[in-house]
Structure 1
């Protein structure tokens, strides 16, 4: 009996040692992946402690020795873009060969349902009122093997010996992928002519807190006037829940930047400056995770919707959404951030999910082309409020991002401008374009102090630049701009 037990234990330890010796890779590393060009590329995994690991790709050979916990990491030298499928060989006590790898541009898109909104859902939208249908039925006709996609699933990201990898953006894999992410990639490919890789990590209904590492959210934000906000995590919302299961497993995969489309769930909470600080924390902590303080972070300002009619314990007004828009825009004070405005892409303000995902993806691509890829001739934003000047009984508003000129989309008088005197009693205003300025006035306001534009949850103004991009909602009496830091 004793001899049999010893034989069993011996066999057990041989088997378990053999299993532990296997190199294990994170799920994001696999067949068909796209590696980021022009940057050092991280390749990592686990194996037996003290084991020598060799990674070979594109005539490069990198080696590492696992630490006491079995972790290893190497960096490939920067690669040039390539459509040539190549193999990566990873050797330790066993060998893994990853096939059909391209080199190009890689982006991570994240957020809640509007970012998760899959191509299969998008295909059901049949309204043509505002161009909801793209010119091509991509769900059924997409056939570009140089656009690759990886769908980050919460219950899928644990490392394992399996290396199923990425998919080409066509056929069955495309059905469940983010429509915004796909159309962003499609436009980027058309302009850059390099392979594009998209990673989608989004969860419907999610607040921002689950996307932030819990320990990073335990902060007390301070306004410039010295006022201290309560700890942000006191708002609940399962801090770290999706960060731990969906974002952390991606670190340190090398990519170009982040795309973010989230906020509706926090807007339902009537959040303003608190959301801005949470958003700032998310951006800065993710950049810290990837050890790059300059990683581009581009986001979508949420769409018009009738939050005031929500049936919950809170009282919502028609101004809660504009205040939330304002809080989203505050993070533009951080470097390498940009915002896409979509007030014109909503057909029904009773629909929380605007159908025009292809245009949202397109606008994100315009931002990336202008800012991440240096194509300064690409106009990527509508008019943005800069400053005001009172002249007699009018207010002169100056804008940036005027493109080739300010305009009215329907050639009618500019809509959704209001003006007020010192009493802050706002009334509808007359707004006239003069060069890169708008002159605002109202007959009943002889001494104007303030102007607001698009300051209503259903506001869909006709005010654009000549490139067709909508003006960003604003109020000249923004209470947070000088306090946020």
Structure 2
């Protein structure tokens, strides 16, 4: 007898629904399930497939389930019955709690919430057909160390729901970093949209996929072999505890290679710094916080490698074993590898050594020397980014597992081409709802956070946010606005607590019947021309509109017939906003928070929820 890996110890079953249990056995074999003091019987069909629908069950647990096929029996233990939510999207949904500890360590310290569970789908894609079998995975509970492996946004969402309704919460994490929305949509839907036919056919060629992956692996291995063989720092041991850096050059850390002699270096650059430590900082474990490094790094303390990271996004947080640090002189050496980007120690990140309740700032002058210069590494082919692949491999196998609703955090990988995202999102929601076949379940999603330098003229993220806002036209959806909780220098902002709480507001309204709850910030509804100004009306004003922090309302721009937007004056008037500009006597359209990082935007409702960015007119 074979069971899906999601039907395993610690699982959460959807309450108050006829939940299906399924598997494979010998053709015609009798199957019996004993669960919650009831017995259920069925027979496997000619292909060995069987399914039994359990009676509706009230929330609670833990329960035990015994599944018998002839003389063979499987026991599933520690089952809870509650609400099951799918977590879909890319890296900001996938981001684990352990990556948020700089900000949220106290929030997850000593967590003991065993009625919150998570099942993590292994990355899997298929380009031939929707799959029915899961490739693995298991359930964990939000206790002790395991909570660090939860989706951070998912955990704080579940915590909010659980604390309010006291029902078990099951999370199914099916998110993959870097994936565009097309990867999560069915092939049939993409063919109806059009424009994906060539890549869909190409990926059906197994030999092409195998050859491309093999070529990627060989090319990457060859690149690193060449780099390592050429790296003078590895040959001579520049990571050693002592090394004469008199002929090395100075580098102000943090900083970018841009604008200096290192700007076009692809290869390795070594950085060293000597620090003096008091005895009180050397008597236990320590942690080196090394900000974020572009692209990769190997980091040494006193000649010992304490950690390495192979790509640009994870924060470098390296543990230093007890006994490695010593009173007096210590050395930190960092080998930075630039594969294809211009290197950098990203600014406004923590660069410090923490030990025994004390810390040492590492910002300032370091010494550097180029280890090796190579050609840029050619980008590999990420097949899990290709259209329909993860839909077939990671969504389709879940179709028999009954759920309450879905959360979605994605869009970063579509910002290069924002136009049309709203149509793709509409198709995705229809695909997912159609697959589960349980009606228009709640679909709650996150609008992209702020990112980039304030004043950056690029607006592709603003355009994608507008496409996301249009998704609210789909019945049964809610959107969490996050333009106020991002980090300008990090694609993966750590404040996933606020994200989870705002997603939970949408769920409480749509799935838990809290109809009087203010679950959203102001959403643009309509505009009215008034003389030489524009009056804007909003939904979700709550108990009133406010300029957060008081003072002047910011973030609005207006255009006339020439379609050139300029910053505008804006004032709150009751539940409306009046927008005007002295030199524009015939206003045509208004935009709000129209920037990749709309840092100045400050329109909120009194409940503390930010207004969504919007444009009243067409996008160029």
Please tell me the TM-score bracket, short chain as reference.
0.7 to 0.9
SS of match in other structure, 1:96? strand
Corresponding residue for 1:293?
439
CA shift, 1:317, in A, is 5.9
CA shift, 1:329, in A, is 2.0
Distance 1:161 1:451 in 2: 49
Contact 2:124 2:135 in 1 (8 A): no
TM-score in terms of structure 1 length: 0.84
Q: Choose 245-254 or 255-264, whichever is displaced more.
A: 245-254
Distance 2:186 2:38 in 1: 35
Distance 1:231 1:270 in 2: 14
Contact 2:196 2:387 in 1 (8 A): no
CA root-mean-square deviation: 2.4
**Residue of 252, 272, 294 corresponding to 2:419:** 272
Corresponding residue for 1:282?
428
Distance 1:113 1:394 in 2: 42
Q: Choose 398-407 or 145-154, whichever is displaced more.
A: 145-154
Summarize the Cα distance change of 1:317–1:68 in structure 2 as closer, same or farther, 3 Å threshold: farther
Summarize the Cα distance change of 1:265–1:307 in structure 2 as closer, same or farther, 3 Å threshold: farther
Summarize the Cα distance change of 1:155–1:448 in structure 2 as closer, same or farther, 3 Å threshold: closer
Q: Choose 143-152 or 237-246, whichever is displaced more.
A: 237-246
Contact 1:147 1:195 in 2 (8 A): yes
Distance 1:435 1:148 in 2: 44
**Residue of 377, 382, 392 corresponding to 2:516:** 377
What are the within-5 Å matches in structure 2 for residues 214-363 of structure 1? 214-220=187-193, 230-232=194-196, 237-267=385-415, 269-273=416-420, 275-306=421-452, 318-346=458-486, 348-363=487-502
Question: Is structure 2 residue 589 aligned with structure 1 residue 455?
Answer: no
Question: Is structure 2 residue 107 aligned with structure 1 residue 137?
Answer: yes
SS of match in other structure, 1:115? helix
Distance 1:235 1:384 in 2: 37
SS of match in other structure, 2:192? coil
What are the within-5 Å matches in structure 2 for residues 97-176 of structure 1? 97-123=75-101, 125-126=102-103, 133=104, 136-138=106-108, 140-154=109-123, 165-176=138-149
CA shift, 1:305, in A, is 2.1
Summarize the Cα distance change of 1:391–1:137 in structure 2 as closer, same or farther, 3 Å threshold: closer
CA shift, 1:155, in A, is 5.9
Question: Is structure 2 residue 347 aligned with structure 1 residue 199?
Answer: no
1:100-144 deviation line (CA, Å, top 9, x unaligned): 111111111011110011111111x24xxxxxx37x431x31111
**Residue of 62, 67, 90 corresponding to 1:90:** 67
Distance 1:317 1:44 in 2: 54
Summarize the Cα distance change of 1:417–1:167 in structure 2 as closer, same or farther, 3 Å threshold: same
**Residue of 140, 144, 150 corresponding to 1:177:** 150
Name stretches of at least 5 consecutive residues in structure 1 with no aligned partner.
1-22, 127-132, 221-229, 310-315, 481-485
SS of match in other structure, 2:114? coil
Distance 2:41 2:117 in 1: 28
CA shift, 1:441, in A, is 0.6
The structure that has the greater radius of gyration is 2
SS of match in other structure, 1:145? strand
SS of match in other structure, 2:67? strand
What are the within-5 Å matches in structure 2 for residues 5-16 of structure 1? none
Contact 2:120 2:174 in 1 (8 A): yes
Distance 1:281 1:154 in 2: 22
Contact 1:308 1:318 in 2 (8 A): no
Corresponding residue for 1:422?
561
Contact 2:199 2:387 in 1 (8 A): no
Distance 1:233 1:437 in 2: 47
CA shift, 1:147, in A, is 1.1
SS of match in other structure, 1:342? coil
SS of match in other structure, 2:434? helix
Contact 1:219 1:232 in 2 (8 A): no
What are the within-5 Å matches in structure 2 for residues 65-80 of structure 1? 65-80=43-58
CA shift, 1:233, in A, is 5.4
Corresponding residue for 2:527?
388
Contact 1:430 1:440 in 2 (8 A): yes
